[in-house]
Amino acid sequence: MSQWQELLRLNLVRGHLSHLYETTFPRHIRHSLCCYIESQDWDSAAVDECKANACFYALMLYLDEQKCSVQENNVLQAPDFPGMQDYLLKHFSNEPQRLAVVLSECLKEEKKVLALTSEPQPCVSPSVENNWSKLDNTVSDLKRQIMELKKENKTLEVLYENLDYIQKTWLDKVQQHTGPSQSQALNEECLKHTNFIIQTKQVVLQKVMNILNQVAHVVTVLVGVELPEWKRRQQMSCIGCPADTSLDHLQKWFTTVAEVLLHVRQQVQKMQDQDKKYNNSDVSNSSEAIDTCAQSLVMKLLTNALVVEKQPVMSSLLQRPLILKAGVRFTATVRFLINLPEFKDLLKVTPVFDKDVEAAVKGLRLASCCRFRQFNFVRDNSKRLDVDSPGGGLAAEFAYMDIKRKTKAPNEQSHVGVCEELHLVTFVTTFQIAGLECNIQVSSLPVVVISSSSQVCSAWASVMWWNMLSPSEPWNLSLFSNPPPLSWQQLSQVLSWQFLAAGQRGLDENQLLMLRDKVGVDPEGLVYWSNFFKNESAWIWIDGILDLIRKYLVDLWREGHIMGFVSRERTRVLLQEKCTGTFLLRFSESSKEGAISFSWVKHSNGEAHVHAVEPYTKKELEFMSLPDVLCSYSVGSKFRKPLVFLYPDIPKDVAFGRYYSSDLQTPKQGGSGYVDRRPVHVSLLPLTPHSPTMEMNAEPETMELEQWFEEMISDILTLPAPP
């Protein structure tokens, strides 16, 4: 499988790589030429102009061959090879080496993304793996015992047939042709045979009971331990935790145990049929009791087998599930963990919005005049579960769900805000199998229904807070009527997950220490909802930074080049001991929308002076990337570049060189004979962020002003005299 096909299989092209192929290289060309592109040595061509020319020429020949092949074979829906060739000739015919650089970087980024997805999940502990191994062994042993039970039941059937044949055939003949003594001997032999059958059946029934006892233990573990633990892992993964949410283990265990129970019921039914056929009622009561026990276990397994595999999520907010908006499509996936052929197309699942929610929120004492907003699905979304090819399980994706609000009651109001209302999507199904009628339902995690896109930030705060405080069912939908506090340990963990999800790197201890001061932790180590959630809160500031990272700083954050959360005072302490030109990147504390600044140190007259620039906002970074800003940033009339080493001592070009735009690295000679102009960020004076707290005292500013004034006078004096 090619690298590109592996990315498609893991559904990674639409994530981190989507921006890469939107701005750097057309994705449809990468897709159509995936095998050819990966077969060439673009790394060598990127640094060797001759190799780049050869690779470009070979690529054009390959496209010519593909065009001819399409025409000869009269293929109607082939890729647009002529269009690809025209695009490549237009953009790279004069610069083949630039194409090599682009493809080399693209392939490296793809490998990075694949490497990240192949890393082992950190949330499965050795003890959990040990428990899974024990369950695997137990389930495998149950399968073995069922096979033995089938053989013994078959043997029992043969014994019954032999006895029946002897009684109905040979007994009459013996009585007719032999004496009473021979007939008596045959009767005694038949009696012994009957007793042996009864004893054998008792042994078989005891084995069945042993199997059911083991199954009962496994079902208790699956329903009471493994399934709730999976649901909790899924809960944490929804808010950013890198948890293992695979259903492979659970599906295997549920399926095997259900299969064992259905086989037990089949074997018990055979024994009951034998009793009726051969007029034997000695153990009928025992077999009925066993069948009742097996039926109870089957029902317990069936009613817990339906799970929400993928929680409700809008396509525009893939990283923030459980936030819905009326009139906007969202999706969810359900799976039935018992994957047996007889269940295919048998289960018709219907989603219901806010089913029985009135009872669930009774803690709010909602009256008719004080209710949550109510919603309905716009259309019937019922689906039958079918076998999906990737996972091989019975699943259905509800891909086109949307809701609308019911007519508002005259005095309708709520004790909580829109972003604190919690709603449920419940999936319901009814079916019959093996004489059993099952009514099954499963609910999603509580969702927040927003009325405006501006409420996403607040809604996500509610989602995080609720999921951290609600580890198990039944769900507390009235939590925000009186929200409990979170411990700083809990909050710091979920905040770190947000940065891990947004930029593939969590927060370290120093960064969390600054956030602790920002959030406002009380002496007992608790954070209250009112402080975290309300307007102008720390969360709004943090969310602005998360958005900044997602859109403009993913690579730099992932590589650890952004210190980010460091106070101005801490910045001064860190830099003043470093050599001139050392700088660090930190997030602005004054911008709620998310902005980034950099500070550097300069030594003058034996003193260290720390300077900072006005923060760069999303609007500015949209036109020029931060690496390009750092590459071209200058101060003073002589365009001195003050940034030399990224803290602690990494040369700037080593840290950021691979991210510079090509036109910043190598000025090109235009057709008019002029050198292309390049944007350069220049400050006549180092700027400080807009903040009441200044990072530099008055003396360094005065010295810098005097130095700048001297430079200006020097420049004026050296101007050429007029003719």
* Distance, CA of 634 to CA of 652 (rounded, Å): 14
Residue-by-residue DSSP string for 673-716: SPBPP----EESSPPPPSSSS-SS-HHHHHHHHHHHHHHHHHHH
Q: Where in the chain is the domain with CATH 1.10.238.10?
A: 490-554
Collect contacts of 487-496 with beta carbons under 8 A, ≥24 apart: 487/525, 487/526, 487/527, 488/516, 488/519, 488/521, 488/525, 488/526, 488/527, 489/525, 491/519, 491/527, 491/532, 492/516, 494/239, 494/240, 494/241, 494/464, 494/468, 495/542
Which region among 176-180, 278-282, 493-497 has the lowest average model confidence (pLDDT)?
176-180
Cβ count within 10 A of residue 442: 20
Residues 657-704: tens digit of each pLDDT: 888 886 655 444 444 443 343 444 544 444 443 333 333 333 334 444
The band of 424, judged by pLDDT with boundaries at 50, 70 and 90, is: very high
Please list, in sequence order, all residues whose beta carbon lies within 8 angstroms of the beta carbon of residue 686, skipping any fewer than 6 positions away.
600, 611, 612, 613, 635, 642, 696, 704
**pLDDT above 80 for 284:** no
* Distance, CA of 58 to CA of 496 (rounded, Å): 48
The band of 9, judged by pLDDT with boundaries at 50, 70 and 90, is: low
3-state helix vs strand vs coil in the chain, percent to 5: 55, 15, 30
Q: What's the CATH number for 563-717?
A: 3.30.505.10
More confident residue, 428 or 682: 428
Closest CA to 441 of 349, 344, 374: 349
At residue 672, the pLDDT reads 44
Order the strands of the 425-433 sheet from edge to edge.
383-384, 348-353, 425-433, 436-443
| CA atoms within a 13 Å half-sphere pointing along the CA-CB vector of 259 | 20
* Distance, CA of 411 to CA of 370 (rounded, Å): 7
What letter represents residue 480's amino acid?
Answer: F
Q: Where in the chain is the domain with CATH 1.10.532.10?
A: 3-118
Q: What's the CATH number for 132-303?
A: 1.20.1050.20
Please list, in sequence order, all residues whose beta carbon lies within 8 angstroms of the beta carbon of residue 557, skipping any fewer than 6 positions away.
499, 502, 503, 504, 505, 549, 564
* Distance, CA of 195 to CA of 485 (rounded, Å): 70
More confident residue, 322 or 170: 322
* Token pair for 257: 């145990």
Beta strands in 519-649 (DSSP E): 526-527, 582-587, 595-604, 607-612, 616-617, 634-635, 645-646
Residues 566-590: tens digit of each pLDDT: 888 889 989 988 888 899 999 998 8
Residues 37-66: tens digit of each pLDDT: 888 888 888 888 888 898 898 899 888 888
Q: Residue 556 carries which DSSP code?
A: H
Residues 251-270: tens digit of each pLDDT: 999 999 988 888 888 877 77
Evaluate whether 38 touches 4 at the Cβ level (below 8 Å).
Answer: yes
Torsion of Cα atoms, 421 then 425 then 426 then 428, to 10°: 160
**pLDDT above 70 for 711:** no
Which region among 385-389, 407-411, 678-682 has the lowest average model confidence (pLDDT)?
678-682
At residue 335, the pLDDT reads 93
* Distance, CA of 358 to CA of 372 (rounded, Å): 9
Fold of 490-554: Recoverin; domain 1 (1.10.238)
Residue where the block lists tokens 């015992």: 145
At residue 262, the pLDDT reads 86
Q: How long is the chain?
A: 723
Evaluate whether 644 touches 603 at the Cβ level (below 8 Å).
Answer: no
Mean pLDDT calculated for residue range 134-143: 82
**pLDDT above 80 for 423:** yes
Closest CA to 34 of 136, 106, 141, 140: 106
pLDDT over 90, % of the chain: 20
**pLDDT above 70 for 189:** no
pLDDT over 70, % of the chain: 75
The band of 409, judged by pLDDT with boundaries at 50, 70 and 90, is: low
Residues 595-617: tens digit of each pLDDT: 999 998 888 887 888 888 889 99
At residue 498, the pLDDT reads 92
**pLDDT above 80 for 180:** no
Helices 248-277, 180-221: crossing angle, 10 deg rounding: 160
* Distance, CA of 649 to CA of 282 (rounded, Å): 88
Mean pLDDT calculated for residue range 506-529: 88
Cβ count within 10 A of residue 196: 12
Q: Residue 534 carries which DSSP code?
A: S
Measure Cα distances from 4 to 7, 58, 388, 573 in Å. Answer: 5, 21, 23, 47
- DSSP, collapsed to helix, strand or coil, labels residue 363 as helix
Closest CA to 547 of 419, 457, 656, 455: 457
Which superfamily, per CATH, for 306-481? STAT transcription factor, DNA-binding domain (2.60.40.630)
**pLDDT above 90 for 427:** yes
Residue-by-residue DSSP string for 282-336: SSHHHHHHHHHHHHHHHHHHHHT-EEEEEEEEEGGGTTSTTEEETTS-EEEEEEE
* Distance, CA of 93 to CA of 96 (rounded, Å): 6
Mean pLDDT calculated for residue range 124-137: 74
At residue 132, the pLDDT reads 78
Closest CA to 44 of 100, 96, 94, 92: 100
Helix (H) or strand (E) run with residue 502 in it: helix 488-503
At residue 485, the pLDDT reads 92
Which region among 25-39, 85-99, 518-532, 656-670 has the lowest average model confidence (pLDDT)?
656-670
More confident residue, 705 or 134: 134
**pLDDT above 70 for 357:** no
* Token pair for 696: 């530099």
At residue 321, the pLDDT reads 94
Evaluate whether 429 touches 348 at the Cβ level (below 8 Å).
Answer: yes
Q: How many helices (H) and strands (E) in the chain?
A: 27, 22
Measure Cα distances from 309 to 235, 237, 387, 402, 443 in Å. Answer: 11, 12, 14, 19, 11
At residue 700, the pLDDT reads 39
Q: Where in the chain is the domain with CATH 3.30.505.10?
A: 563-717
- Relative to beta strand 394-401, strand 448-450 is unpaired
What letter represents residue 686's amino acid?
Answer: P
Residues 12-36: tens digit of each pLDDT: 665 556 666 767 788 888 888 888 8
Which region among 311-315, 518-522, 554-558, 622-626 has the lowest average model confidence (pLDDT)?
518-522
More confident residue, 513 or 359: 513
- DSSP, collapsed to helix, strand or coil, labels residue 624 as coil
**pLDDT above 70 for 183:** no
More confident residue, 486 or 531: 486
Q: What's the CATH number for 3-118?
A: 1.10.532.10
**pLDDT above 70 for 133:** yes
Cβ count within 10 A of residue 362: 10
* Token pair for 193: 């045979």
